[in-house]
Structures are given as C-alpha cells and as structure tokens.
Amino acid sequence: MRFVRKGQTWIGIFLVALIIAFIFPMKINAAGTGSITIFYHGVTKEESSIALSGAEFSLYKIAA
C-alpha cells in the first residue's frame, strides 16, 4: 500500500510541474500581440489624395 501512495504522489508532482510548464510560455507569448491600423488612400484623376471608405482587407498570418 505504501508503494501505491508513493507512486501517486510522484505522479501528482509530475502533473503539477507539467501544468506549470505549459502556463508560463502562454504569458510570455501574450505580450507579443498588438494591433494594426490601416489608412487606405487612393488618387483621383486630378492626382489628389482621397480616403477610400468601405475598403475590405484580408490579413494573413505569415510564419515567422
């Protein structure tokens, strides 16, 4: 019976350490997030700048 309890204790310690190991990298990666603002301007035939409203964009994640 002592061996079963001892084995369960080591498994419990291992699982807690494993959970902690997965929690810390998540906090580090969360700091790398941010935001992006896009100002889209076009040019008329008279070569004057005009802001385009209602333009749709598609953003794709590129592996870094």
15-52 pLDDT, tens digit each? 999 888 887 766 555 556 678 787 778 888 888 888 77
Choice between 4 and 58, residue whose per-residue pLDDT is larger = 58
How far, in Å, are 5, 14, 15, 17, 44 from residue 10 at the CA level? 9, 6, 9, 11, 72
pTM beyond 0.85: the answer is: no
Q: Are 40 and 52 in contact (CB under 8 A)?
A: yes
